[in-house]
Amino acid sequence: MSSNILFSFFIYPTRCFFFSYSIDTVRESLKKMSSSLISESTGETKTSSNNNNAAVVFTDLLGIVNHGYSLTWCKSIFGYLGPTAKDTLKLRSYCKLFSKALKPLPCWTSYPHPKYSTLNKLFGRFNELFSSGSTNVPKVMLIEDGVHDEGGTYVKIITPISIIGESREHCIIMGGLLMKGKKEDDFNVSNLTLRDSKIAGVAGNNGASFHLDNVSVENSAIFGVVVFRTKRSTMKNCNVSHSKQSGLFVYDGGLLTIDGNGTTIHHNCTSGDSVHYGLRTYDSSSSIHLASSLTIETISMNNGGGGNHGGRGTIKTL
């Protein structure tokens, strides 16, 4: 389980205690959460926004059960804590109560995989199934920490999917992601690093949109992130650095929206070519939009080539 949510269980004949490590944190969390619950007669609950740093401590589940709030309270607790996909899988296996309180993941798989030695081979199989019209294609991919070597090549993906790394710092793919699909298709990538791609770290084109969250793209041989003919792609709290050419490259009607104060675009354009920038919009039909809390100056810095931003398109704060 992740270090943010650590659990141990002690089952007695009449009691089930739920432990972790910070009693002060949980008492405060439960106070906030309890105040957000509406009476059972309304059939409604409200929960605070997710807090990945919260931890549940010493919750007497039997007491909750005796008051008839077991499922409601567990849903609220988990809604407040926001367990990761990996945590959700483990928690649902512990008991029926947790299984009911947490929504099951859609069809999922994990990597490393016993039958496929590389991500390219595994996604090759997914792509075959998707092209054949099969409905038995995973919607979620969980990638464990480690260095996953794709030889710097693209992992080609045509089936809409959520790719979730165990951690950005330690889940490292040596290569890039190439995502293609229809305009309504979405590809979600979070909590991992893409490094040393021979082309681009991330490329989305021909309609399908990608959504990067807490992703680091490093040392790409050409561009860091490329957006081509797709208008719904987003980045949040991502790092793009040390690309040989532009860090972000948007062209041919593309639009990329950037959010998150953890966003950094730096030390790109290592080739020194002045036509490349940290943020580059190639033509007048291409745009990069920044959330209201961001500016070009705060996210794009210390880039070589032509500088931190440029091109014939639009780069603006909304």
Q: What is the pLDDT of residue 79?
A: 81
User: In this structure, are 139 and 90 located in the same domain?
Assistant: no
- pLDDT tens digit sequence for 174-223: 999 999 999 999 999 999 999 999 999 999 987 899 999 999 999 999 99
- pLDDT tens digit sequence for 258-315: 999 999 999 999 999 999 999 999 999 999 999 999 999 999 999 999 999 999 999 9
User: In this structure, are 248 and 139 located in the same domain?
Assistant: yes
Q: Which of 9-23, 82-96, 258-272 has the lowest mean pLDDT?
A: 9-23
Identify whether 225 is part of a domain.
yes
User: In this structure, are 237 and 210 located in the same domain?
Assistant: yes
Identify whether 1 is part of a domain.
no
User: In this structure, are 39 and 186 located in the same domain?
Assistant: no
**Of 76, 101, 126, which residue is a domain's last?**
101
Count of domains for the chain: 2
Question: Which stretches of the chain are DSSP H helices?
Answer: 23-36, 61-66, 70-81, 85-92, 96-101, 119-131, 296-299
Calculate ∠ Cα 18-4-169, nearest 5°: 155
User: In this structure, are 144 and 288 located in the same domain?
Assistant: yes
Report the distance separating Cα 262 and Cα 267, nearest Å.
Answer: 16
User: In this structure, are 285 and 186 located in the same domain?
Assistant: yes
User: In this structure, are 92 and 150 located in the same domain?
Assistant: no
Domain of residue 47, residue span: 8-101
Q: Coil, strand or helix: which one is 237?
A: coil
pTM for the whole thing?
Answer: 0.76
User: In this structure, are 73 and 124 located in the same domain?
Assistant: no
Higher-pLDDT residue of 271, 12:
271
Q: What is the pLDDT of residue 312?
A: 97
